Amino acid sequence: MRAALKQLAGILVAVSWLTSPASAEILIVTNAKNPLATIALDDVRKIYLGKTRTFPDNMSAVPVDQDSSNHAYAEFLTKVIGKSEKEMKAYWSVRIFTGRGTPPSRLESDNDVINWLRKNPEGIGYINASAANESVKVLLRIP
């Protein structure tokens, strides 16, 4: 009986490991016509926290976010912003209700981000690496 329980526990651990979302590479992407070739992680962070309104070359930057249920969103918060979802909500609540800024718009999926960036030369977004295609320019890879 004890051996069977151990086997069952082992199977459950293996299943949970296999089904847990692994840390995936995300890409910082922009419109294909954006002259910028690359961007620093800190610059991306400042754009998404509303601390700057431009790319490093002083061109206007309009960030777009992803829905909070997406895996890319969680990865982006952890790897780029360095804040939890709760901390982000608190940060933007103060800025919104004092009139000092608004959070980036949100889209539902990687494909929505790509489609939006095609139409917005000043846009910047992030997607899972697996969703990338030639219609957007990759500015930064974040493993």
Q: Taken in order 114, 115, 118, 123, is the CA torsion positive or negative?
A: negative
The yes or no reply on residue 67 touching other proteins (CB under 8 A) is: yes
CA distances from 67 to 71, 74, 112, 114 (A): 9, 10, 11, 14
Q: Is 111 in the site for other proteins (CB under 8 A)?
A: no
Choosing from 7, 23, 93, 130, the residue that interacts with other proteins (CB under 8 A) is: 93
- Which residues contact residue 36 at a Cβ distance below 8 angstroms, ignoring those fewer than 6 apart? 30, 55, 56, 57, 59, 137, 139
Under the criterion CB under 8 A, does residue 108 sit at the interface with other proteins?
A: yes
Told to check if 57 binds other proteins by CB under 8 A, we report no
Please choose, out of 5-13, 25-33, 103-111, 125-133, the segment that lies near other proteins by the rule CB under 8 A.
103-111
Q: Contact 63/113 with Cβ under 8 angstroms? A: no
What six digits make up the tokens of 22?
């692994």
Among the listed ranges 4-12, 15-23, 33-41, 96-104, the one in contact with other proteins (CB under 8 A) is: 96-104
98 binds other proteins (CB under 8 A): yes
Three-state DSSP state, 67: coil
Q: Is 62 in the site for other proteins (CB under 8 A)?
A: yes
Return residues touching other proteins (CB under 8 A).
46, 51-54, 58, 60, 62, 67, 85-86, 89-90, 93-94, 96-99, 101-108, 122
